[in-house]
């Protein structure tokens, strides 16, 4: 019983609040100022026993097609064309405006099914506005309060007959086949339709993140333009990227904290950081004209510190004249400025023309595969013996540090534990020596590697056994010396 519900209406009527109410999470940014939402955001809606896809759209505004508001309106109109049901939301406290009447006329012509909802209708303040809504000619308006959850039962009753109609149509169109798919547990980490690869695209404002994702999707799904900072929400889109099921997160451009004064921008950056934590592979997108600025380095370091697989992509490559010389400069700067990501893929792309997307796809798959790599314990200990023989640990204060045993405790990212003695005396340089050796010998370039040392101490493994023997011997002697009772 799945269908698509698009929430449309003027700016600041409560669409994003209603979206968050239906998905049960605070996914969409909400603020008092109008125009916070700019892109189309999808989520899994739930209302009673109904399950559906809900789409949060930008506010409908009467503006020129070439303006930012005009491009936002075109995206919303496309959502109206593709949705099964449109939920047209008005502000009951403001009443019906001329813009509401204009967009109601558009919905009558373009939408398949329209449900009219008068939001902010709690109390007496919204009564007159809810009555005015009858004049829009879209049927009886539902009096709801997205903020307080009122009227959700009325919305449920309005959706049930439509959902049953869609389900009946889907049953008739469904092919009569039954295919069993066998799953390989060893390859469970590989991307699939049920578990797509999670990718977050991050970078400074105006680096071309939304344009790149639109090129991957093959359609203008995300709002783009020459203005910096268009994207505000972290929009996730599911697609098939050259045969690989993926879910891509488009994030807001990240500037230095000192330059951020707008509250909405702060919320947008926080939303982008949250998307990085949910991602498996993070694509750090650079502007090839001004690459590896201080903010780029901070963004890449944050992705590494969160333990994500990282791919560096230099965008706007089509604008470069001397490409070989520029590529050498990029690689030199990358190795010098980001040593913690040594060996991570560095690819050049053009989001405008689509060149380099195949290289980006291969780099993402390689980074994901390395991020999930597991090394057998036997091989690790053979390797550890060879590494300590080639370069023994130091002996501070005459105390020799012994690395006794090594094993991999987790993947995503790869994490290893080494049992050793005097670990508090082990210098950081030796830890870097082992990490670099793991990268080189087990083909794990670029991925974050977590290496932990645990102190095994110098405990004699036979000490407990000897103590038990001594205790039992002493006890038997004590019993033998005792005089028998008369």
Exposure string of 30-49, with b = 16+ CB inside 10 Å and e = fewer, is beeeebbbbbbbbbebebee
Domain assignment present for 467: no
Same domain, 92 and 11: yes
Domain assignment present for 396: yes
Domain assignment present for 480: no
- 459 labelled ligand-binding: no
- 318 labelled ligand-binding: yes
Q: Which of 351, 372, 393 is the last residue of a domain?
A: 372
Dihedrals φ, ψ of 204, to 5°? -70, 165
Q: Which of 372, 396, 429 is the last residue of a domain?
A: 372
Helix-, strand-, coil-residue percentages of the chain, each rounded to 5: 40, 20, 40
- 253 labelled ligand-binding: yes
DSSP code for 318: G
- 207 labelled ligand-binding: yes
**Side-chain half-sphere exposure of 83, counting CA atoms within 13 A:** 31
Same domain, 214 and 355: yes
Same domain, 367 and 389: no
- 210 labelled ligand-binding: yes
Tell me the CATH number at 23.
3.40.50.300
C-alpha to C-alpha distance for 221 and 38, rounded to whole angstroms: 12
Q: CB within 8 A of 156, min separation 6: which ones? A: 47, 48, 50
- 315 labelled ligand-binding: yes
Predicted pLDDT at 243: 94
- 122 labelled ligand-binding: yes
- 317 labelled ligand-binding: yes
Exposure string of 345-359, with b = 16+ CB inside 10 Å and e = fewer, is bbbbbbbbeeebbeb
Domain assignment present for 283: yes
Q: CB within 8 A of 475, min separation 6: which ones? A: none
- 121 labelled ligand-binding: yes
C-alpha to C-alpha distance for 449 and 292, rounded to whole angstroms: 23
Strands 244-250 and 235-241: antiparallel
| C-beta separation of 22 from 43 below 8 A | yes
DSSP collapsed to 3 states, 251-270: CCCCCCHHHCCCHHHHHHHH
| C-beta separation of 252 from 269 below 8 A | yes
- 297 labelled ligand-binding: no
- 460 labelled ligand-binding: no
| C-beta separation of 162 from 211 below 8 A | no
- 145 labelled ligand-binding: no
Q: CB within 8 A of 301, min separation 6: which ones? A: 338, 340
**Tally of structural domains, the chain:** 3
Token pair of 382 as six digits: 């053979």
Same domain, 269 and 288: yes
Tell me the CATH number at 429.
3.30.300.20
C-alpha to C-alpha distance for 411 and 384, rounded to whole angstroms: 19
Same domain, 344 and 420: no
As beta bridge partners, residue 197 has 246
Query: With left for phi above 0 and alpha for psi between -120 and 50, is residue 336 left, alpha or beta?
Result: alpha
C-alpha to C-alpha distance for 95 and 131, rounded to whole angstroms: 9
Q: Which of 334, 349, 372 is the last residue of a domain?
A: 372
Same domain, 30 and 162: yes
Domain assignment present for 282: yes
Q: State the helix-helix crossing angle for 98-110 and 68-82, rounded to 10 degrees.
A: 40
- 362 labelled ligand-binding: no
- 206 labelled ligand-binding: yes
Is the backbone peptide bond immediately before 413 cis, with ω within 30 degrees of 0?
Answer: yes
- 12 labelled ligand-binding: yes
Same domain, 66 and 52: yes
C-alpha to C-alpha distance for 307 and 277, rounded to whole angstroms: 9
Q: CB within 8 A of 218, min separation 6: which ones? A: none
Same domain, 139 and 75: yes
C-alpha to C-alpha distance for 56 and 5, rounded to whole angstroms: 9
Quote the domain boundaries for residue 424: 377-461
Please state, in angstroms and as integers, the Cα–Cα distance from residue 198 to each residue in 9, 201, 359, 367, 419, following that order. Answer: 31, 10, 18, 12, 34
How remote is the C-alpha of 62 from its chain's centroid? 33
Same domain, 160 and 264: no
C-alpha to C-alpha distance for 484 and 486, rounded to whole angstroms: 6
- 472 labelled ligand-binding: no
- 30 labelled ligand-binding: no
10-residue averages of pLDDT along the chain (486 residues)? 80 86 73 54 84 79 60 71 86 86 84 88 79 86 87 90 76 43 57 91 88 89 62 74 91 60 54 79 92 87 90 94 92 90 92 94 95 93 94 85 92 92 90 93 90 75 55 58 53
Same domain, 334 and 432: no
- 385 labelled ligand-binding: no
- The pTM of the whole model exceeds 0.75: no
Domain assignment present for 475: no
Predicted pLDDT at 99: 84
- 62 labelled ligand-binding: no
C-alpha to C-alpha distance for 65 and 73, rounded to whole angstroms: 8
Domain assignment present for 469: no
DSSP code for 470: H
Domain assignment present for 471: no
Predicted pLDDT at 180: 40
Predicted pLDDT at 265: 47
Same domain, 143 and 15: yes
| C-beta separation of 247 from 198 below 8 A | yes
- 67 labelled ligand-binding: no
* Residue 479, H or E segment: helix 463-481
Same domain, 76 and 143: yes
């Amino acid at each position: 019983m799945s269908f698509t519900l698009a929430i449309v209406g003027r700016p600041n009527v409560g669409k994003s609040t209603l979206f968050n109410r239906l998905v049960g999470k605070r996914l969409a940014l909400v603020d008092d100022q109008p125009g916070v939402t700019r892109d189309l955001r999808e989520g899994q809606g739930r209302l009673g026993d109904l399950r559906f896809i809900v789409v949060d759209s930008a506010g409908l505004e009467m503006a020129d097609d070439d303006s930012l508001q005009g491009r936002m309106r075109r995206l919303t109109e496309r959502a109206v064309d593709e949705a099964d049901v449109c939920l047209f939301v008005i502000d009951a406290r403001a009443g019906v405006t001329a813009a509401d009447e204009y967009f109601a006329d558009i919905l009558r012509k373009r939408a398949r099914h329209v449900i009219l909802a008068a939001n902010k209708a709690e109390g007496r303040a919204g009564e007159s506005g809810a009555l005015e809504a009858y004049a829009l000619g879209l049927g009886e308006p539902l009096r709801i309060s997205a903020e307080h959850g009122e009227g959700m039962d009325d919305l449920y009753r309005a959706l049930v007959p439509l959902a049953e109609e869609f389900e009946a149509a889907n049953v008739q169109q469904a092919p009569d086949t039954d295919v069993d798919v066998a799953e390989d547990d060893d390859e469970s980490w590989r991307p699939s339709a049920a578990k797509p690869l999670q990718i977050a695209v991050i970078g400074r404002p105006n680096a071309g993140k939304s344009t790149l994702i639109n090129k991957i999707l093959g359609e203008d799904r995300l709002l783009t333009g020459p203005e910096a900072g268009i994207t505000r929400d972290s929009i996730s889109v599911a697609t098939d990227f050259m045969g690989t099921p993926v879910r891509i997160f488009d994030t807001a451009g990240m500037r230095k904290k000192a330059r951020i004064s707008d509250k909405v921008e702060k919320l947008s950056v926080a939303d982008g950081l949250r998307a990085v934590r949910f991602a498996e592979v993070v694509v750090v997108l650079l502007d090839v004209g001004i690459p590896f600025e201080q903010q780029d380095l901070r963004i890449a370091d944050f992705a590494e510190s969160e333990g994500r697989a990282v791919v560096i992509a230099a965008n706007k490559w089509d604008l470069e004249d001397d490409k070989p010389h520029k590529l050498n400069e990029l690689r030199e700067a990358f190795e010098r400025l980001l040593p913690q990501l040594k060996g991570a893929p560095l690819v050049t792309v053009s989001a405008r023309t689509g060149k380099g997307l195949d290289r980006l796809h291969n780099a993402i798959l390689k980074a994901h595969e390395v991020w999930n790599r597991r090394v057998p314990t036997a091989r690790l200990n053979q390797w550890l013996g060879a590494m300590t023989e080639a370069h023994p640990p130091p002996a501070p204060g005459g105390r020799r540090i012994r690395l006794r045993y090594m094993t991999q405790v987790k993947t995503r990212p790869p994490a290893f534990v080494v049992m050793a003695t005097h670990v508090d005396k082990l210098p950081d340089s030796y830890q870097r020596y082992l990490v670099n050796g793991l990268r080189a010998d087990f083909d794990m370039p670029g991925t974050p590697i977590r290496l932990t040392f645990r102190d095994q101490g110098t405990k004699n493994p036979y000490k407990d056994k000897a103590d038990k023997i001594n205790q039992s011997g002493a006890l038997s002697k004590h019993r033998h010396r005792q005089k028998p009772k008369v």
